Amino acid sequence: MNNALETLRKAWAEIFGDAGDAAVYFAPGRVNLIGEHTDYNGGHVFPCALTIGTYAAARVRTDRLLRFYSVNFPENGVITCSLDDIAYRREDGWTNYPKGVVCELAKRGYEAPYGLDIVYFGTIPNGSGLSSSASIEVLTAEILTDSFSWDIDRITQALISQAAEREFIGVNCGIMDQFAIAMGQKERAIFLDTATLSYEYVPLILPDVRIVIMNTNKRRGLGDSAYNTRRAECEQALECIRTRIAAPSLGALTEEEFEAVADTIPTESMRRRARHAVYENRRTIRAAEALREGDLEAFGELMNASHRSLRDDYEVTGPELDALAEAAWEAKGVIGARMTGAGFGGCAVSLVRGEYTESMIREVGGKYEKTIGYPASFYVAEVGGGPVRLA
């Protein structure tokens, strides 16, 4: 953290001058342990916040200008817009995320009276699937809430951040990323019912077990991927199912209920998409129960089954994520491994017994580079808390 804060303050001094009156904030990234592509299908998810995330220094201005700078994208320089003219502009790149939050806050009556100068610094690898965009969104919501003394709770911040991604950016995402970041707690995973937003914190204290995040180093962009197509396929499948039964969502169905009506879905590919949504939700419910009972072996088997379903039924893994997961399954000490996030690149997550962590990273890394042609990156993750003002 100290190095990140030093980097942030140095950048502020270079871009905006004296940092004496700038407030400093942090919002985490997240990793989803199981429950992928279920959040927009009315199912359950099981993420946790991380100690890596996004830092920001912010200062309220006396005019209506918003000035954004990212240490991660110095080539873009300072990007400026007015509170009176906030619009999505492709050329503004990453700043569309904080702009979207400002816009969605204003729609709900939280209109910023003044602009801000904000410098961001992310320690989440860009395009990794660990929710750098959602981290920026929730962080921005926290900055504005604090700067203007608004009474906005964390769940509302998550919903506003999700709306920014959906309405302003155009990625039809579920609530998981923003919720996990806004509501994160140290040493806790969040068992979240995305249909109702009811949630439970489940202790994630893993003695002698490490969470190892494996980054394919293949960049992905959600808006450019098949994400919206998969969502549409699930919605179409649900409409077909509703010709026979009144199902509020795919996540509301058991495996048996789904199989009884699967023949209403006209194409095999659409059936497989829906099957994943139903079966993955049930896996997630069982995984949360396994963790409550301390049955890590059962949890690991469910992680492996999740990846196979994402590979075969949902088709969102690709050769890079498959290479990581399959190499991890063969490595000694690995309890379970699966892709995490939207897929099409990004990261996989594994649970590894502590004494085998280094050998697992060497073995999986070697197999991956041999198969794919370039190296993966590995991070031993720690479970962190939600957004916070640091100074």
Query: Can you tell me the distance from the alpha carbon of 248 to that of 264, in angstroms, rounded to the nearest whole number?
Result: 16
Query: Can you tell me the distance from the alpha carbon of 69 to that of 59, in angstroms, rounded to the nearest whole number?
Result: 13
Q: Quick one: how many helices (H) and strands (E) in the chain? A: 11, 13
Residue 382 · residue 53 · CB < 8 Å? no
Residue 169 · residue 95 · CB < 8 Å? no
Residue 205 · residue 248 · CB < 8 Å? no
Strands 116-122 and 47-60: antiparallel
Residue 135 · residue 28 · CB < 8 Å? yes
92 catalytic? Reply is: no
Query: Can you tell me the distance from the alpha carbon of 113 to that of 61, in angstroms, rounded to the nearest whole number?
Result: 10
Q: How many CA atoms lie within 13 A of 312 on its CB side?
A: 9
- Nearest partner of 189 among 202, 177, 199, 200, judged by Cα: 202
Q: Which of 39, 92, 146, 177 is catalytic?
A: 177
Residue with tokens 């699967």: 262
- Find how far residue 391's CA is from the centre of its chain: 26
Catalytic sites, residue numbers:
177
